[in-house]
Amino acid sequence: MFKHYYINNNPTLNPGFNHEVHTMEHATQLGICNKHYIGYFANEIEAVAQAKKIYSDADGCATCCPNAHRG
């Protein structure tokens, strides 16, 4: 299922201090305003791969991108 993905520009709000990738729904739910649009992807693995071109430490959110979450 295709979804819109965003990356958080603020790396200090998660335990790993990395730039986290979220779905549009989850970014809105969390109230993340300082975010960068990555694109429309079939899954979080493709979204994080694209996000790594922006932030090399990009990681999937454990909640909305579990298949791309490293920890």
Residues that bind Zn ion (CB under 5 A): 22, 26, 61, 63-64
Q: How far is the C-alpha of 43 from the C-alpha of 7, rounded, in Å?
A: 14
Contacts of 51 (CB under 8 A, 6+ apart): 5, 7, 19, 21, 38, 58
Closer of 25 and 42 to Zn ion (Cβ): 25
Closer of 38 and 61 to Zn ion (Cβ): 61
Q: Which residue is nearest to Zn ion (CB)?
A: 61
Beta partners for residue 5, in sequence order: 23, 39
Closer of 31 and 56 to Zn ion (Cβ): 31
Residue 63 Cβ, how far from Zn ion at the closest point, in Å? 5
